Amino acid sequence: MQTIAKALTIAGSDSGGGAGIQADLKTFHQLGVYGMSAITAITAQNTLGVAGVYPLPTEAVSHQMREVLRDLGADAAKTGMLFDAAIIKAVSEEIRTFGLKKLVVDPVMIAKGGAKLLLDEAIAALKTDLLPLAEVVTPNLPEAECMTGMEIRTPEEMREGARAIHALGARNVLMKGGHLEGDTVVDILFDGTNFYELAHERIQTRHTHGTGCTFSAALTAELAKNTPLVGAVEKANRFIFEAIKTAPQIGGGHGPTNHWAVVE
Ligand X SMILES: Cc1ncc(COP(=O)(O)OP(=O)(O)O)c(N)n1
In this chain, which of 10, 81, 87, 185 binds ligand ADP, going by CB under 6 A? 185
- Using CB distances below 5 to 8 A depending on partner kind, what does residue 117 bind out of ligand X, ligand ADP, none? ligand X
Beta pairing partners, 41: 55
208 is catalytic: yes
User: Is the distance from CB of 112 to CB of 179 less than 8 angstroms?
Assistant: no
Total residues contacting ligand ADP (rule CB under 6 A)? Answer: 18
71 SS3 class: helix
- Using CB distances below 5 to 8 A depending on partner kind, what does residue 255 bind out of ligand X, ligand ADP, none? none
146 is catalytic: no
In this chain, which of 244, 255, 256, 261 binds ligand ADP, going by CB under 6 A? 244
213 is catalytic: yes
Dihedral sign, CA of 34, 39, 45, 47?
negative
- DSSP code for 83: B
Question: In terms of CB distance, is 163 or 200 closer to ligand X?
Answer: 200
User: Is the distance from CB of 103 to CB of 34 less than 8 angstroms?
Assistant: no
Task: Choose the catalytic residue: 212, 220, 235, 257.
Answer: 212
* Residue 220 is a binding residue for ligand X (CB under 6 A): no
Name the nearest CA neighbour of 139 among 110, 171, 174, 166. Answer: 174
Q: Which residue has its beta carbon closest to ligand X?
A: 20
Task: Give, in degrees to the nearest 5, the angle at Cα 177 between 154 and 262.
Answer: 155
Question: In terms of CB distance, is 167 or 260 closer to ligand X?
Answer: 260
